[in-house]
Chain A
Amino acid sequence: MGQYTASELWSITAMQSFAGFSLFSVLLLMALGLAIIFGQMGVVNLAHGEFMALGAYTVYLCSQLAHNYAPALIPVYFLFAIVAAFLASAIAGLFVEWSLIRFLYKRPLDTLLATWGLSLIMQQLFRTIFGAREVTPTLPDWLMGSFKPSESIDIPINGVFVMALTLALTGGVWLFMYRSRLGLRMRATVQNRNMSGAVGINTRWVDRLTFALGCGIAGVAGAAFTTIGSTGPDSGSRYIVDTFLVVVFGGTASLLGTIASAFGIAQAQSIFEFFLEGTMGKVAVLMTIVVILMIRPKGLFANKVRS
């Protein structure tokens, strides 16, 4: 790269590492909810992507509302929309747990198939309600555009926003899981369901709330993605494989594993994509993950436990 000046190379490196971090937060955001549902509860939720799409559609609805009824709110509606997205997805999750998942806790492979069916139904619902076309909410101006620390560096503000949101959400999940009463109960239930029941934990409600929480986080992820991508009926299915790979690659045992794995995959992907061409960059990343998973099937951060 002889034809470039040192400062150009420096700017590109800076922006490229930002791209890596930005992808990291996207992956982490997607995986966080699943890490709870799959990692903690062992439920394989293939409709996870659709819960993200639900969150995104909620933002779209809020944007339409703000647009039509309260144009003055457009600069701030997005913050409320995120909360609404969380609630919409969490409530849907609560309902799905009650009507479907609870019958399948001991049959992970069957959950996988049933939730795939659920994802088809949700996709068709989105299509019926919102139409087949992709939609995009009107975003407040402060979210778009870039921030220029120097002449040749542009840092996308939506990227920064997604990163901040990821940080806050991860912190929140961590606090919840390791510092709150419900979190303690949740972990207790995961480790020993019978015992937890015996000491007076209502495991049924713990399951339900945990599932709803995971779905709600997916909704927030979906809301955040409206700033960088589009929302269509099948948006969710585009994310699902990546999401599962992040969680499986990290090892389902710990939140830290998920974070590390999202980081690793994001950096690998942004580097591969920079030096390789388009599709093959993605293939290279996926291949690397699968090969590593073949060598370390329980992921990077699996606990060594006594069998």
Chain B
Amino acid sequence: MSSKKEFILYIEDLTVSFDGFKAVDGLNLYVEKDELRVIIGPNGAGKTTVLDLICGKTQPTSGSVLFKDKELIGLSEHEIVREGVGRKFQTPSIYENLTVYENLEVSYPSGRGVLGCLAFKRSPEVVARIREVAKEIYLDHLLDAEGAILSHGQKQWLEIGMLLMQEPQLIMLDEPVAGMSPAEREQTAALLNRISKGRAIIIIEHDMEFVSRIAHRVTVLHLGKILAEGSMEQVQHNPKVIEVYLGH
């Protein structure tokens, strides 16, 4: 354990209940800068809910989420994004009626207010940044294609690209390789490894093989609580984890 490193995200005692059912129950989670954390766990463990709580989509019953020493609970989604948190959804969530270029442009972090939006101009920096990100996500040849005609995997990448445009310090990805071909997985793993430099990443993933290739650390959730935490190796051999997965 490298306790010297500084944490960018502190989650403490986070709890949310829906009509009495505790989907996340007293969760404590700490993520370092430059860390790529993977959260795994059986269905209904509360993985997606944790991401929802961090990014403000769901309000917790109690607990706190500190990001760069700032409390995120109570902020609305866009405010949390502006603090530097990016979130990708489980099903690819891009603007199908906009082109790849426009998808990225819309994600560029300026002209976000109504007036700023009216005054927004496509400056050389914006264009350069879009091209740079498009290249990163393997879509530089498809800039003028509408989102709707991209393949499933390309949509996933585009959404990651949209996050990158925002230059977040924390990226949260919900099953980024679901539905991808083996080749695309390969490229995605490389992409994730590249972008994890200089920022923290939290990923939810089911594919253990993929997890073992990218994860710095793994957290296992079960019934809204942390069952185990550590390297993939440690977690894989944890008897409680084995029991949960087999018993499931």
Listed in ascending order, the chain A residues whose CB lies under 8 Å from chain B are 303-307
Contact = CB atoms under 8 A, between A and B. Distances in A.
B52 A307 contact: yes
B57 interface: yes
A307 B16 CA distance: 13
B19 A304 contact: yes
B90 interface: no
11 contacts: A303-B19, A304-B18, A304-B19, A305-B18, A306-B18, A306-B23, A306-B49, A306-B58, A307-B52, A307-B57, A307-B58
Contacts of A305: 18
B45 to A, nearest CB: 14
Contacts of B18: 304-306
Contacts of B58: 306-307
Interface residues of B, number: 7
A256 to B, nearest CB: 16
Contacts of A306: 18, 23, 49, 58
Contacts of B57: 307
A197 to B, nearest CB: 22
Interface residues of chain A: helix, strand, loop or mixed (majority): loop
Main secondary structure of the interface of B (DSSP, over half): mixed
A307 B52 CA distance: 9
Nearest to B18: A306
A307 B18 CA distance: 10
Interface in B48-62: 49, 52, 57-58
Question: For B18, B52, B57, which residue has the most chain A Cβ atoms within 10 angstroms?
Answer: B18
Nearest to B57: A307
Interface string B1-29: 00000000000000000110001000000
Contacts of A307: 52, 57-58
B2 to A, nearest CB: 36
Interface string B189-220: 00000000000000000000000000000000
Given A306-B18, A306-B49, A306-B58, 8 more contacts: A303-B19, A304-B18, A304-B19, A305-B18, A306-B23, A307-B52, A307-B57, A307-B58
B39 to A, nearest CB: 18
A307 B53 CA distance: 12
Of the candidates A303, A305, A307, the one having the most CB atoms from chain B within 10 angstroms of its own CB is A307
Nearest to A305: B18
A108 B115 CA distance: 32
Interface in B39-91: 49, 52, 57-58
Contacts of B23: 306
A228 to B, nearest CB: 40
A305 B58 CA distance: 11
A305 B49 CA distance: 13
A307 B19 CA distance: 13
B91 to A, nearest CB: 14
A147 B52 CA distance: 61
A129 to B, nearest CB: 47
Instruction: Pick from A303, A305, A306, A307 the residue with the most CB of B within 10 Å.
Output: A306
A303 B18 CA distance: 10
A71 to B, nearest CB: 59
A294 to B, nearest CB: 17
A306 B46 CA distance: 11
B62 to A, nearest CB: 15
B70 to A, nearest CB: 24
A7 B23 CA distance: 58
Contacts of B49: 306
Nearest to B49: A306
A305 B21 CA distance: 11
A114 B58 CA distance: 36
Contacts of A303: 19
B59 to A, nearest CB: 10
Contacts of A304: 18-19
